[in-house]
Structure 1
Amino acid sequence: MNKLTTLFTTTLLIATAGLAQARDLGPDEALRLRDAGTIQSFEKLNAAALAKHPGANVEETELEEEYGRYIYQVELRDEKGVQWDMELDASTGAILKDQMDD
């Protein structure tokens, strides 16, 4: 019984540790970070994403903090109707992920 309790506790800790590593940031916090110069402006980040997919439209954006790093997530839809999921480092504007959505 003791081994089962230990296994359950370990599994629960591992599962919740992953959840605690990423958190969504609300608009007020995002604006505070932008105004403080911690992250780039949303216009600049959107422009970087759109430069990779000219003619696309931004459909959704989200700012998260993952492992102490600010990640700007952007969903784009290009002229052919293809959806793209992108992640940019919100501090530098570097593209971290650019993949077609399934």
Structure 2
Amino acid sequence: MRKTLTLLFAATTLTFGANLALAADRDIGPDEALKLRDAGTIQSFESLNETALKQHPGAKVEETELEEENGRYLYKVELRDAQNQQWDLKLDAATGEVLENQKDD
């Protein structure tokens, strides 16, 4: 009985923790993104793309996404360079700081 209660408690704790993690991250839709840009909360998408492209001259933007994670707006960009290598970048959407820049395997 005690083992069953322990397992039940562990499963409940894991489920609750996973739900909190999911609630902390959310995708930002186009209308909200434009409002954030217009309010000066985040940089323009053109500026953020330019910052990402400076990391890999000659690359092209394939996909972008704006998310809020733990109260911070993050701009995620997928680039493809001249050697056909894909790069995943994460930028702070407010400051333009490059937080991650890694090859996609």
Q: TM-score range by the shorter chain?
A: over 0.9
Shift of 1:5: 2.6
Residues 34-59 of structure 1 deviation map (CA, whole Å, 9 limit, x = unaligned)? 00000000000000000111100000
Hey, what does 2:98 align to over in structure 1? 95
> When the two structures are superposed, what TM-score results if normalisation uses the length of structure 2?
0.93
Q: Distance in 2 between matches of 1:3 and 1:48?
A: 50
Given the alignment, which residue of 75, 79, 96 partners 2:78? 75
| Identity, % of aligned positions | 62
3-state SS of paired residue (1:99): strand
Structure 2: where are the runs of 5+ without partners?
A: none
| Aligned positions, number | 102
Post-superposition Cα deviations, 1:57-86, rounded to whole Å, max 9, x if no partner, equal: 000000000010000000000011000000
TM (normalized to structure 1)?
0.96
- In structure 2, the partner of 1:42 is 45
Aligned partners of 1:99, 1:33: CA distance in 2, in Å? Answer: 27
CA distance in 1 between counterparts of 2:11 and 2:102 reads 36
Q: Kindly report structure 1 stretches of 4+ aligned residues shifted beyond 6 Å.
A: none
Give the whole-Å Cα distance in 1 for the aligned partners of 2:95 and 2:6. 47
Task: Kindly name which structure, 1 or 2, has the bigger radius of gyration based on alpha carbons.
Answer: 2
Q: Which moved more, 1:16-25 or 1:65-74?
A: 16-25
> Displacement of 1:89 after TM fit?
0.2
Take 1:22 and 1:31, find their aligned partners in 2: how far apart are those partners? 19
More deviation, 76-85/10-19: 10-19
| Matches for 1:1-102 after TM superposition, within 5 Å | 1-102=4-105
